[in-house]
Structures are given as C-alpha cells and as structure tokens.
Structure 1
Amino acid sequence: MGGGDEGAGKKRRFITREEEPDEYFLSKGERDGENPLKTDPLAWIGLLAIFFPFILTVVLIASGAIDLSGAYVH
C-alpha cells in the first residue's frame, strides 16, 4: 500500500539490541549522568504545567479572589 514494488523480494533485516551501539539512544547529558531538571527546559515546562493550576488556586483562595464560604451546604 503506497510503497510500490521496492524491495518486494527482499527480507528486511532489523537491527537488534545487541548489535546497537551503546551510545545510540543516549544524549550527552544522559551519558554523563546529569539531572535533566538542571539542564532541560522541557522538564521545567512540564513540571510547571502540572503544578501551576494548583498553586494558582491556593494563591487565589488565600487572597480572597475565590470565595469558598458558600461552597459548604449544611
């Protein structure tokens, strides 16, 4: 489907884990054993995206911008 007849008679050989060089999947930081939180901005963005809504909610409740007094019904 969509590939044509390229390599129709050939059996495709995949690389195995044993044949793979050790450094293939490792970045320089991973090889050196660095903490990704020190060097990777995407790690910081991910943590911020997870925790920011909760921190913002607590700050808004503490400042009175969100009123919880009517939230409890007896």
Structure 2
Amino acid sequence: MDPSAIAAHMEVVGSDGGHVGTVDHVDGQRIKLTRTDRAAGGEHHYLHLDLVQAVRDGKIVLNRTAAQAKDEWGVKSVG
C-alpha cells in the first residue's frame, strides 16, 4: 500500500461498503481518522495500512467489513 495515495478527508469504507470514518492523515503505518466524523464518537481512531485493500473512486476500501474494522480500531487519543 502506497501511503501517498491516501489524502485528508477521504472516506474510509469497509469491504461491505459501510462507512468507517474519514481520514485525518497518515501517521507512520497507520491512518488516523478524524474525531469529528459521525462514526468516531468524538475520538481519533487508527487503522493500520495493512487493512487497506484499495483506493478506489476517492475512497479507501478496507479488506474487512465496516463492523470488523471498527472492532479493530487502534489506540484512541483525544487531541
């Protein structure tokens, strides 16, 4: 996965097309999601780049469903 293909404000969806979040930025080998997204609950969440299946039609498509991805959200931090 080429992290340069990921840009701020891109939508992240699961393999089922379900909404997971919105990209804040790439932080090393993780995608940091915005805390203002409706799915975020006011906190930043992280997804490892290994979860990215493709960048298609301006969206990041994961290799698991939206529910599975949310179950695997990485370390949360506010700020």
Quickly name the TM-score band, shorter chain normalised.
under 0.3
More helix by share: 1
Structure ID, larger Rg: 1
The structure whose RCO (Cα within 8 Å, separation 6+) is larger is: 2
Instruction: Decide which structure has greater strand share.
Output: 2
